[in-house]
Structure 1
Amino acid sequence: MATTDLHMQLVGHDYVNDRPVERRGLAMLAPMIERARAEAVARGDLCLLLDNGDTLQGTPLGDWLAEQGTDVSPHPMAASLNHLRYDAVGLGNHDVDHGLPYLASVLDQYNMPVVCANLTSPTLPMLRRLAVLDRTVRDTAGEAHPLRIAVLSVLPPQTADWSRHHLEGRATVTGALDALRCALAEARAEGADLVVVLAHMGISGSESGPDPESAARAIAALDGVDAVVAGHTHLRFPGPDHDGIAGVDSRQGTLEGKAAVLPGVAGSDLGVIDLDLMRDGTRWRVQNHTARLEALPLEAPRDPAILRLSQRAHEATRSFLSAKVTELPEAMHSYFALAQAGPLSHLLAAAKRRVVSRALCGTPLEDLPLLVATAIPAVGGLEGPDNFVCLPKGAVPRRSIAGISPYHNQVWAVRVTGAQVRDWLERSARIFETLTPGNADQLLVDTRVPGFRFDTVHGLDYEIDPTRAPAFDHSGYPVPGAPRRIRNLTFRGAPLDPAQDFVMATTHYRIGGGGGYEIHHDTQVALRSNTSTERALLDCLRSDDWALPDTRPPWLFTPGLGVKAVLYTAPDAVRHLSDLAWMAPEPLAPTCDGFLPVRLSL
């Protein structure tokens, strides 16, 4: 059994809107785990429970706990994993978001081995390259046999760039495939009969580059790997999310013929792999295998033990988020953030600009034009129709700010040329489907591209033409011969000069190449601040001199394209359709999963 990307969703709670949510949370998944384990024991089967990382970050609960440091003990996630008797866990890239000392303090509380083959650090002495679990299995005649199972784990090698402010000089991150080859040899040398890999990576058939971010399929193809638990992308496997990829059977749940699962996000699913073994001389081999996902049902019961272990931190987080931050004269929302840049994007830009301009004042970079890149993750997607944010008119609670900036990103800045800015925008425009005339029900947004990958760059004026094919692939590599989607790109009323220098205010994650963007190295970094995006927003809103600047959208879709496309948004968006009046919005019947489709004319 396997979980992945729990992202500190313990009790099934939406902290931004302060309400319970269904089909989310380890507390709801726990009864399914215990039932599946009991059924396996009743059959006489050996049963393991594994987790594939990204457990400690992702909700305001995780951020609040990190702020308290070691003052809250035991950590509710550690206590919950111990309660459920996990056999081994791996690391994900977001597990380092609050720094290595904090990670070490939590891992010290785990009662099971924590493994990662491609990250090492003296700060994490408890971290193992691999774990060999000695267990006993019974054959069909009831005879007991010893079985040695190696559990290996890798995270995306890009973590070294995404989290360089935490890892630089403190940890080493190597390529996933090379690290696994070494760990596989070590596991077999230790007498492992089976090898399960926790690959905190997605499943893709279009990844480019020497060590791609979604390499679960290549990992499964390695000689000696018997089963794979994938993760990172928040998608589901087996299932239609990965149809049509070579080497992938999305119905049977195999990658290159090996059993595999990718169990969603936040406890949405339990991944189950069954392996039937046969003794082949002195070794065991997998004779048959099945893989499946067991999705959380609606109104699933919650494990009272996990609720009890989480209660103190859960209630403290809710109280912390209820505090008033500021007052707004008008509401701001993210309902149409993927159709045009609204006031929320301008608010983010003002907050980042404030941090960077103050830090660069009096430096040689002060006179360079300052651009600001903003992304709003709360735009629906895999997290569903509740994943939008609306700052109300009047008093604004802190939970609303947490919804705008759910990741622990720091405000950084990088020196770029006009040519790099254009490529930045082209990578951002990858989020849109390639639209064609005559299809009124085509989707505007490519559902394979998460909303946090879409940047609006303030300080420019430009158009996006989604009738043209994207110029970059999902990994951020150029598509040979592809046209450009960015049109009429200007700076201060004149065409953008490819050679002109700018400073771009953004986040450490984006500068590290996060989201398929260009990796900027230290010589290009103009500012490495310790100010988080959330802190920048709070400081901006609380300042005496703050006022929302001109909210004219920096970009629009190219006028007169003659195409229609459907945007999925929250049901409440129907009250704000006038914001998109120039696209003649037509609300359609709600989807079965609760989204409001709105047809737009471009």
Structure 2
Amino acid sequence: MPQDNSYPLTRRGFLAGAVSGTSLIALHPFSARAASNQAHLRIMETTDLHVHVFPYDYYSDKPVDTVGLARTAAIIEAIRAEATNALLIDNGDFLQGNPMGDYIAYERGMKDGDMHPVIQAMNTLGFDGSTLGNHEFNYGLDFLLKSVAGANFPVVSANVVKKLGASPREDETLLRPYVILDRMVTDGAGQSHPIRVGLIGFAPPQIMNWDRKHLEGNVNARDIVATAEAWVPQMLEEGCDLIVALNHSGIAGAEHVDGMENAAVPLARVTGIDAILTGHSHLVFPSPTFDGFAEVDVAAGTISGKPGVMGGFWGSHLGLIDLLLERDGNAWRVIGSTSEARPIYQRGEDRSITPLVDSVETVLASVSKEHDETLDYIRRAVGKTSAPLHSYFALVADDPSVQIVSIAQGWYIAEMMKGTPYEGLPILSAAAPFKAGGRGGPDYYTDVPAGDVAIKNVADLYLYPNTIRAVKVTGAQVRDWLERSAGIFNQITPGGADQVLINPDFPSYNFDVIDGVSYQIDLSQPSRYGPKGEDLNPGANRIVNLTLGGQPVDPAAEFIVATNNYRAGGGGDFPGAKGDTIVFEGPDTNRDIIVRYIHEQGTINPSADANWRFAPMPGTSVLFDTGPRAAGYIGDVKGVAIEAAGDGPDGFARFRITL
């Protein structure tokens, strides 16, 4: 395997002045107490950067204090100053994940010799190595290979292969499976000694499903643990003193299952691995999140007895493993370790954000041109919509702003289900309006006119960085899911005039509309569920005439429902979506999926199709309040008779629906 030339581990890529905003530097105990035959080594990890170099939210087009490699860079210098020896390693998912990544991939492109901005920023910081995450494959292999070609550091990946051999050692891997860094390390007495540090990388095998259109027929992905068991002995044979697993995979079950996505625990058990970097899950380790996980010790910062770390996502934290090494003859062994994840910001009890570091100007400068180009990109059209995207009537009629989310989710999940046991099942899509007035006020609505759609508009359509999920449910569960949603409406007395329609205690983000089926809501019936999902009226049925393709939905029939991680994991307490029906956990955010869909379609047609409406109640009318600008869209609303009814309170406009 290729090896790097020797040079000291101390202060590689050191950035003067980067500690602005940090606390005073304190020497780590390992550095203070290392003896003449001992050395303190700090392994710094970034993971899941997703092209976040600037502290900027491109979707909402404003600066933020919670993201950005330029902020993490300030901690990196502080860490280097605290230790005699240090390595800086990235754990994957750096090429995709925000509009800057989309701008480079979809518009500017990558030619031979071009430099990707996130690679340029990483070069500026002096990374020692990286591996591939699953999102590196989102734009295709050609884009990936041209991007990593600009790295001044090795990028390794052992389990993604161009040609499978009889065993992993006989594979033709896409990139080198591992690298051995020949370095000099300074011991406690100030003497320098050689050390051989091996880095081996892994990506989730699920890339073959997530990016099938790019990868099928071009590469294969092996099981993470089996691959490690084959390559790690070879690394030891080549004289590695220390082996670090760059594992773009999360911390989950201790039992090894072939092809598992989150394999950190069984991977750490592999003999020869001394430390493990984890990621992919967008979580922090060590943290209470992992209390009670088998073979995971949060207090010690270990996974299966090996030091491990997960440094958040988008540059939110710098993962840090401190190792106390002892020289035994001509070899080194680990005799002590600590682990932590240092944040770039602090969140107060009132949810306020306080930045803990300032951005490093040299890192900002390295991508300033691309940052400015990305701002231009998000502010101009990336597609067109044939209909306005507004949410003024999202709570009372099928709505275009919800429709486009449903369409994009369904489009994505249909592709993901190909080649799985669920291929062929009907695919439905559940989405809810996020901006629908309420406490947000009379201007808190999505309102994108027909015509050009810019990426920054997607934040209006989808407020949260949720990730895509799919659940498998029965027809009975689909009906109960809709019954839960229908709890947003008050019970209406037949024949009554101008009754209040919406229950203000019911949040709009729990009003799921399910696309792909047709149904009516009978407001004369009591709601089965309360605002928090409590079963108030068992047996109550507001959902009537539930059909698929014109035929009644069979309660025993099976369906795939596209949704998000919040809902699928039990958020809102919806029947059929309590964490036990998930059949697909995608790595992509719902916002990214909407952007991809718009890019691919060019012109989108999100016109509401009135797949749901209120059941007729002759002689009955209800009132609801929405934004004043809704008046301009009354004529576009399908399936419901709406008319203006004067002014509502607090700047809202009031409308009347005749049922």
Instruction: Settle same-fold status: TM greater than 0.5.
Output: yes
Superposition pairs of residues 9-408 of structure 1, within 5 angstroms: 9-40=52-83, 45-67=84-106, 68-70=108-110, 73-121=114-162, 127-205=175-253, 209-297=257-345, 298-299=354-355, 300-323=357-380, 325-326=384-385, 331-332=390-391, 343-350=400-407, 371-373=427-429, 391-392=446-447, 394=449, 397-403=453-459
Q: 1:370, CA displacement in angstroms?
A: 6.8
CA gap 1:405/1:127 in 2 versus in 1, 3 angstroms = farther
Whole-Å Cα distance in 2 between the matches of residues 240 and 504 of structure 1? 31
Whole-Å Cα distance in 1 between the matches of residues 232 and 387 of structure 2? 57
CA gap 1:295/1:17 in 2 versus in 1, 3 angstroms = same
Whole-Å Cα distance in 2 between the matches of residues 302 and 146 of structure 1? 34
CA gap 1:222/1:370 in 2 versus in 1, 3 angstroms = closer
User: Residue 127 of structure 1 aligns to a residue in which SS?
Assistant: coil
8 Å Cα contact 1:25-1:267 kept in structure 2: yes
Percent of aligned positions with the same letter in both sequences? 31
8 Å Cα contact 2:93-2:132 kept in structure 1: yes
CA gap 1:39/1:374 in 2 versus in 1, 3 angstroms = same
User: Residue 32 of structure 1 aligns to a residue in which SS?
Assistant: helix
CA gap 1:377/1:284 in 2 versus in 1, 3 angstroms = farther
TM-score, scaled relative to structure 1: 0.66
Q: 1:133, CA displacement in angstroms?
A: 0.5
Superposition pairs of residues 544-559 of structure 1, within 5 angstroms: 547-550=607-610, 552=612
CA gap 1:503/1:225 in 2 versus in 1, 3 angstroms = closer
552, 559, 564: which one pairs with 1:494?
552
Whole-Å Cα distance in 1 between the matches of residues 54 and 329 of structure 2? 47
8 Å Cα contact 1:352-1:536 kept in structure 2: no
Whole-Å Cα distance in 1 between the matches of residues 528 and 216 of structure 2? 37
Determine whether 1:459 maps to 2:517.
yes
Whole-Å Cα distance in 2 between the matches of residues 57 and 378 of structure 1? 25
1:375-429 deviation line (CA, Å, top 9, x unaligned): 68999xxxxx9xxx9632547741245445899xxx9xx9xxxx96639979x98
1:550 partner amino acid: A
1:203-245 deviation line (CA, Å, top 9, x unaligned): 1138884332111111112111111110001000111121121
User: Residue 151 of structure 2 aligns to a residue in which SS?
Assistant: coil
Q: 1:120, CA displacement in angstroms?
A: 2.1
1:358-382 deviation line (CA, Å, top 9, x unaligned): xxxxxxxxxx997543668999xxx
Q: 1:106, CA displacement in angstroms?
A: 0.6
- Any unmatched runs of 5+ in structure 2? 1-43, 164-171, 346-353, 415-423, 485-505, 521-526, 535-542, 569-580, 586-594, 615-626, 631-659
Q: 1:320, CA displacement in angstroms?
A: 2.0
Q: 1:306, CA displacement in angstroms?
A: 2.1
Q: 1:254, CA displacement in angstroms?
A: 1.0
Whole-Å Cα distance in 1 between the matches of residues 412 and 91 of structure 2? 36
1:250-289 deviation line (CA, Å, top 9, x unaligned): 2321111111110000000001111001233453211000
2:124 partner amino acid: H
User: Residue 121 of structure 1 aligns to a residue in which SS?
Assistant: strand
After TM superposition, the structure 1 stretch with the greater mean CA deviation from structure 2, 249-258 or 205-214, is 205-214
After TM superposition, the structure 1 stretch with the greater mean CA deviation from structure 2, 326-335 or 93-102, is 326-335
Per the alignment, residue 648 of structure 2 pairs with none
1:269-325 deviation line (CA, Å, top 9, x unaligned): 001111001233453211000001110033432122222221222222221221254
2:62 partner amino acid: R
CA gap 1:283/1:65 in 2 versus in 1, 3 angstroms = same
Q: 1:143, CA displacement in angstroms?
A: 2.5
Whole-Å Cα distance in 2 between the matches of residues 335 and 21 of structure 1? 30
Q: 1:36, CA displacement in angstroms?
A: 1.5
CA gap 1:147/1:353 in 2 versus in 1, 3 angstroms = closer
Whole-Å Cα distance in 2 between the matches of residues 291 and 503 of structure 1? 41
8 Å Cα contact 1:345-1:456 kept in structure 2: no
Determine whether 1:517 maps to 2:592.
no
CA gap 1:65/1:256 in 2 versus in 1, 3 angstroms = same
User: Residue 70 of structure 1 aligns to a residue in which SS?
Assistant: coil
TM-score, scaled relative to structure 2: 0.60
1:523-561 deviation line (CA, Å, top 9, x unaligned): xxxxxxxx94223665124xxxx632216389xxxxxxx
After TM superposition, the structure 1 stretch with the greater mean CA deviation from structure 2, 47-56 or 455-464, is 455-464
Number of matched residues?
463
Whole-Å Cα distance in 2 between the matches of residues 143 and 377 of structure 1? 63
8 Å Cα contact 1:90-1:198 kept in structure 2: yes
1:410-465 deviation line (CA, Å, top 9, x unaligned): x9xx9xxxx96639979x98xx9xxxxxxxxxxx99xxxxx9xx995532669999
User: Residue 234 of structure 2 aligns to a residue in which SS?
Assistant: helix
- Any unmatched runs of 5+ in structure 1? 358-367, 380-384, 433-443, 446-450, 469-486, 520-530, 555-572, 577-602
Whole-Å Cα distance in 2 between the matches of residues 36 and 107 of structure 1? 26
CA gap 1:351/1:516 in 2 versus in 1, 3 angstroms = closer
CA gap 1:210/1:406 in 2 versus in 1, 3 angstroms = farther
